[in-house]
Amino acid sequence: MTENNKEKKKKFHLKDLFNRPSKPYANPYLGGVLLGMVLFASYFITGNGLGASGGLSRIAAFIEDLIAPGHIDQVPYLITMAGGQLNPLDSWIVIVTAGVLIGGFTSGVIHGRTKFETNKGPNISNQTRWLFAFLGGILFTYGARLARGCTSGQALSGGATLSAGSWVVMFSIFGGAYALAYFVRRLWN
Amino acid sequence: MIPFPLHLESLLTKPLTYLVFLLIGFLFGYVLEISGFNHSPSLASQFYFKDLRVFKVFFTAIVVGMLLLFLSSAVGLLDYNLIWVNPTYLWSGIVGGLIMGFGFILGGFCPGTSLVALATLKIDGIFFVLGGLVGVFLFGETVDFYKFFFNGSYYGRLTLMDVFNLPAGIVVILVTLMAVFMLWGGEKLEKIYGNKDPKKAPKARYYGAGVLVIVAVAIAIIGQPTTADRWNNLESIRGDDLKNREVYVHPGELLDTFHNHKLNLVMIDVRNEADFNLFHLLDAENLLPEEIQDSIDEFIALPANTVIVVMSNDEVTSTEVWKTLTAQAVPNVYIFSGGINNWLETFSTSVEDIVCGKITRAGEEELHFEFNAALGSNCPAAYPDHDLYHFEYEKKIELDLKRAPVGGGCG
């Protein structure tokens, strides 16, 4: 349904789609209530919480499998996802990831926030922002694999189900970020 | 029987199951976008106390999600034992969390938010996702160098209730109060560091906080279902299995299962330690009936091909333990038919008579054999020679794959 609508809009009003006036974001508490309800619905219906880094890691395994299929079968961590005939994309978490992309895009279009731009602190160039985004991405997913989940899969989902380890991960994430924040304040202020 | 969570794999075809996950992902992405999670300066400025938008969304979501989960569990709609609870790996969680925190403040996103940023064409989000793919690659290549650390400090399905030894309702109240306090403190910090006037925010948030606390108290008052409650719900369904002896395993089937390497056989011997030391089956685990309750989480976390067989001297105690395990949603639990007495009558040989002991007669749930010493699993009957025995029996063990998810969103 939404796919079709988008196609039509793209064909006929491509410019309008990306040049709509940006609306402000929702009230954070309202957003939190809605996010909590989505999280609950996920557990209630499927028994599983939300996740994001799992999807990313399977996409990475898929790319690696395309480039070096023989190598996959020698790395124990990758075998479970993409070893032999396994398709790393054939997992519910990859489908959730696809849904996140479509949902984010849809909301961005509706609220006029889907546009090419770089958001950054006022005192750095776009290139610096991109470099640090890239480095941050490497660190974040590396840590997420080590901790078996990121802010979605561990902190949010595990937090709501009262997993002890997830609360430890949550405080470690916030602790790490607050600890380093002062030293990299130029990036954002 | 507690109706939720649904077991989608057995209810729907694969495409339909995936459609459900696509819809959940869609809503997740949509809500992240309207909450402003695709805007990296908002994400980063929470670490300078200037704009705690993301912090507010995040902790509100955790509390709302938690309250709905434990409320639906308290009223018997949702089986908490059947939802995925992240297992605890303490040190890899701490180190991984700190690395994630560094990545957060440098990159301005986390994986979920970067996907939404990418979907809304934020170039910094695209770079973060690319870096993320590289991070996964680097992890796969390096984890083997420290896999003992990665797999160490494992505590299984450990909840805050276990850590603090408090009932779920109390933990729910404490987490709610802590979150409300943190959000209140966050607004104070925003006022100091971000020049934000909390008076401009809608008053409704105070009522909202009040509702959260009231719901938390209600959850504590209702309480989570006990094993007895759970069995009462289940009796109409599984009670007949007991009556028709559908869950009682013949000695021959148990012996065959020893040698069925597709199954992960777990034998729980619920007799007292003295009887267990006199004689037990090879590899059986000794757990007293009152210790079962504390081990439920471990049983739930066992691999999907696990079959649990409970045994006592006869069948009375083992049947009670079966009820506890089954009521707590542990799948594939069976009772050893006739108990250890039946086993010894079936498998004791002339060697047993001479070396180990002989048959005597005693009361119900007492060992009918007199052993010369605490021989444990050293008698031949503890592991009979499979080739010597052939039995005709009705096969009872059937793998039911309807169980708690065996992986979260992080695999």
Nearest CA in chain B to A125: B124
pLDDT of amino acid B3: 77
Phi/psi at A123 (5° precision):
-105, 10
Given pLDDT bands bounded at 50, 70 and 90, which one contains residue B138?
very high
Please judge whether A107 and B33 are an interchain contact, meaning their C-beta atoms are less than 8 angstroms apart: yes
Both B302 and B216 in one domain: the answer is: no
Both B214 and B340 in one domain: the answer is: no
What are the chain A neighbours of B158 within 8 Å (beta carbons)?
A: 163-165
Both B366 and B334 in one domain: the answer is: yes
Q: Count A/B contacts: CB-CB distance under 8 Å.
A: 598
Query: Minimal CA–CA distance to A175: which of B10, B275, B3, B93?
Result: B93
Read off the tokens for B403: 């169980």
Let me know if B407 is exposed, middle or buried by CB neighbors in 10 A (0-12, 13-18, 19+): middle
Query: Minimal CA–CA distance to A52: which of A42, A67, A65?
Result: A42
What are the chain B neighbours of A98 within 8 Å (beta carbons)?
A: 22, 25
Interface of B with A in 195-234 (CB under 8 A): 201-202, 205, 208
What are the chain A neighbours of B68 within 8 Å (beta carbons)?
A: 36-37, 40, 44
Find where tokens 């008053």 sit. Answer: B203
Please judge whether A141 and B135 are an interchain contact, meaning their C-beta atoms are less than 8 angstroms apart: yes
Cross-strand bridge partners of residue B27:
none
When the pLDDT of each residue in chain B is averaged and rounded to a whole number, the result is: 87
- Render pLDDT for B281-313 as a digit per residue (tens, 0 to 9): 888 889 998 888 888 888 887 887 889 999 998
β-sheet with B306-311: strand ranges across = B248-249, B333-336, B306-311, B264-269, B285-286
> Which residue, B183, B201, B226, sits at the end of a domain?
B226
Q: Cis peptide leading into B380, omega within 30 of 0?
A: no
pLDDT of amino acid B118: 94
Both B318 and B217 in one domain: the answer is: no
Domain that holds residue B195: 8-226
Task: Walk along chain A (189 residues) in steps of 10 and give the mean pLDDT of each run.
Answer: 51 66 88 95 90 84 82 76 78 90 93 88 90 95 92 92 95 95 89
B38 versus B392: the higher-pLDDT residue is: B38
- Render pLDDT for B91-115 as a digit per residue (tens, 0 to 9): 999 999 999 999 999 999 999 999 9
pLDDT at B411 over 50: no
**A58, A91, A146, A189, best to mutate vs chain B, most B CBs in 10 Å:** A146
Both B150 and B257 in one domain: the answer is: no
Both B101 and B203 in one domain: the answer is: yes
Contacts of B311 (CB under 8 A, 6+ apart): B267, B268, B269, B270, B271, B281, B284, B318, B335, B336, B339, B340, B343
Residue B378 near residue B352 (C-beta atoms within 8 A): no
B269 versus B349: the higher-pLDDT residue is: B269
Let me know if A95 is exposed, middle or buried by CB neighbors in 10 A (0-12, 13-18, 19+): buried
Nearest CA in chain A to B40: A119
What are the chain A neighbours of B99 within 8 Å (beta carbons)?
A: 139-140, 142-143, 146-147, 176
pLDDT of amino acid B401: 65
Q: Which of left, alpha, beta for B2 (phi over 0: left; psi -120 to 50: alpha)? A: beta
B196 versus B192: the higher-pLDDT residue is: B192
User: What is the end-to-end Cα distance of chain A in Å, rounded?
Assistant: 42
Find where tokens 């796919």 sit. Answer: A3
Please judge whether A137 and B6 are an interchain contact, meaning their C-beta atoms are less than 8 angstroms apart: no
Contact status of B41 with chain A (Cβ, < 8 Å): yes
Q: Is residue B353 part of a domain?
A: yes
Both B136 and B70 in one domain: the answer is: yes
Report d(CA B40, CA B104) in Å as an integer.
10
> Which residue, B194, B226, B258, sits at the end of a domain?
B226
pTM listed for this prediction = 0.86
Both B199 and B242 in one domain: the answer is: no
pLDDT at B245 over 80: yes
This model of the complex carries an ipTM of 0.89
Contact status of B104 with chain A (Cβ, < 8 Å): yes
Read off the tokens for B87: 């297992």
Q: Is residue B411 part of a domain?
A: no
Q: Is residue B405 part of a domain?
A: no
Both B221 and B244 in one domain: the answer is: no
Contact status of B150 with chain A (Cβ, < 8 Å): yes
pLDDT of amino acid B340: 86
- Render pLDDT for B312-346 as a digit per residue (tens, 0 to 9): 988 889 999 999 998 888 888 999 888 888 888 88
Can you give the CATH number for the domain in which B232 is found?
3.40.250.10
Q: Is residue B19 part of a domain?
A: yes
Q: Is residue B394 part of a domain?
A: no
Given pLDDT bands bounded at 50, 70 and 90, which one contains residue B10?
confident
Best mean pLDDT range from B172-176, B242-246, B259-263: B172-176
Both B154 and B52 in one domain: the answer is: yes
pLDDT at B361 over 70: no
> Which residue, B171, B204, B226, sits at the end of a domain?
B226
Name which of B29, B44, B68 is nearest A104 (Cβ-Cβ): B29
Q: Is residue B354 part of a domain?
A: yes
Contact status of B152 with chain A (Cβ, < 8 Å): no
Contact status of B30 with chain A (Cβ, < 8 Å): yes
What are the chain A neighbours of B125 within 8 Å (beta carbons)?
A: 133
Both B20 and B150 in one domain: the answer is: yes
pLDDT of amino acid A1: 44
Please judge whether A178 and B101 are an interchain contact, meaning their C-beta atoms are less than 8 angstroms apart: yes
Contacts 24+ apart (CB under 8 A), B137-143: B137/A60, B137/A64, B138/A138, B138/A142, B139/A57, B139/A77, B139/A141, B139/A142, B139/A145, B139/A146, B140/A60, B140/A61, B140/A64, B140/A75, B140/A77, B140/A78, B140/A145, B141/A75, B143/A77, B143/A145, B143/A146
Q: Is residue B282 part of a domain?
A: yes
Residue B161 near residue A162 (C-beta atoms within 8 A): yes
Q: Is residue B3 part of a domain?
A: no
What are the chain B neighbours of A174 within 8 Å (beta carbons)?
A: 101
Nearest CA in chain A to B169: A162
pLDDT of amino acid B334: 92
Please judge whether A140 and B110 are an interchain contact, meaning their C-beta atoms are less than 8 angstroms apart: yes
Degrees, nearest 5: CA angle B203-B205-B207: 85
Both B21 and B155 in one domain: the answer is: yes
What is the sign, positive or negative, of the torsion defined by CA atoms of B130, B133, B135, B137?
A: negative
The H or E element that residue B310 is part of is: strand B306-311
Domain count, chain B: 2
* Pairing mode, strands B285-286 and B88-89: unpaired
Least confident of A121-125, B52-56, B383-387: B383-387
User: Any idea how long chain A is?
Assistant: 189
Report helix, strand or coil for B306. strand
